[in-house]
Amino acid sequence: MGIGAERLSPPRGSTSGGAKPPVSKKPARAASPAKASSVAKTASATGAPAAKPRIAMEDGFFLALVIVISLAFALVIQPFFAAVLWGIIAAILFGPVNRRLLKALSGHRNSAAGLTLILIIAMVIVPAIFITMALINEVASVYARIQSGEIDFAVLFERVQASLPGWANAYLERFGLADFASLRERIDTALTASFRTLATQAVAAGQSAFSFLMALGVMLYLAYFLLRDGDELAERVTRIAPLRAAQREALLQQFVLVIRATIKGSIVVAIIQGLIGGIVFWLLGIEGALLWGVTMGFFSLLPAIGTGLIWVPVALYLFATGAIVKGLILVFCGIFIIGMVDNLLRPILVGRDTRLPDYVVLISTLGGLELFGFSGIVIGPVVAALFIATWINLAEMRRQEEKAG
């Protein structure tokens, strides 16, 4: 039969008399999950807006629990914050050495990490302990000589005043600095208080040797496991971080880059500048050469103005007391040797592309020292670099969204 015949044929179940077939009443069943998913797919295919899933109360509670537990863990390790920080820094800096040893030892991670830890102790810890002990002895010796009167700042200021030419005294009178008696008294009091503070801190450091040894043990213990399992831990942290893959990689790369740049570009340069400054002071016969060298190395962490805060006043004192040749030698070494170390070594050790602006380094270093103590020389620049990197990533994301729109 043709198509027309099929249309004229009565439907199945119909009676010849045209009576309607009995309709069975069955309860309506709920749509199966398969049908619901097919409906959702159909809605998405037709462009209908899909309903947003609501965050369940359990998910919100779990998120709050994660935050609370994380804060509690941060409070637990807060007494060893500096030890944890320097353990991470040691693992990052000596990571390339550990990888070379791992390759040479056919993949024995425990042996490679142990040898790297011994290298850290021999190259960093032992020299730092000896320098600290010598510095404590130097500070105590200078302070004892001040107390006994062997070093008299009043006599030193009188010699400076007597050696100044007439035009210099007239120039000082114009700015109200000719009253050497009161000026000498203020500076004498300030210097004496400074040395007293250093001596007190040296004694306190000796009394808290147990805390120092405990923190040192935590740092070395953590550094060992980070050297052994650091790659796996870094991969886990980056995987669970609630960020996009590109953002995670950019921030992690910037963190490691700034750690290495800060240590190599700041601390290594500070050690070299302090060493050269101490040697120059010792060769010129200036008292407390070790103390001045360590102080110069510490101030060299401040860009542009660092070491000049130490050797410029000493050079002026040498000129004022008639030691013209020593003053000229110190000025020459300060400008062309100590000063050029920063300009020559820092680009080689760090690279020009990874350097932060000098004003950012200065402000972040001073702020870090104020908030976190000595560890702030690393924390400050790292926070500043991550701040800049985060805003750069945000600007890049908005630029890509504008292009896509």
pLDDT > 70: what percent of the chain? 68
Tokens 């590109």 -> residue = 246
Q: What is the DSSP code string of 350-391?
A: H-GGGPPPHHHHHHHHHHHHHHHGGGHHHHHHHHHHHHHHHH
State the chain's mean pLDDT as an integer: 75
Rounded to whole angstroms, the Cα distance separating 285 from 272 reads 20
| Residue 354 vs residue 123, higher pLDDT | 123
Which DSSP symbol is given to 123?
Answer: I
| Residue 262 vs residue 289, higher pLDDT | 289
Rounded to whole angstroms, the Cα distance separating 212 from 216 reads 6
pLDDT band, very low/low/confident/very high, at 122 (cuts 50, 70, 90): very high
* Helix, strand, coil fractions of the chain, as percent rounded to 5: 80, 0, 20
User: Both ends of the chain: CA-CA distance in Å?
Assistant: 59
Q: What is the pLDDT of residues 132-166, one digit of tens each?
A: 888 778 777 777 777 776 766 666 666 766 666 66
Domains of the chain, residue spans: 243-405
For the chain, give the longest Cα–Cα distance.
139
Rounded to whole angstroms, the Cα distance separating 231 from 223 reads 13
CB 88 within 8 A of CB 222: yes
CB 115 within 8 A of CB 104: no
Helix count (H) and strand count (E) of the chain?
19, 0
Rounded to whole angstroms, the Cα distance separating 102 from 115 reads 10
Per-residue confidence (pLDDT) for residue 252, from 0 to 100 = 76
Number of other residues whose CB lies within 10 A of the CB of residue 283:
13
Q: What is the pLDDT of residues 332-351, one digit of tens each?
A: 988 888 888 877 777 666 65
Per-residue confidence (pLDDT) for residue 54, from 0 to 100 = 54
Rounded to whole angstroms, the Cα distance separating 209 from 132 reads 12
pTM above 0.85, yes or no: no
- Amino acid 253 reads Q
- Amino acid 149 reads G
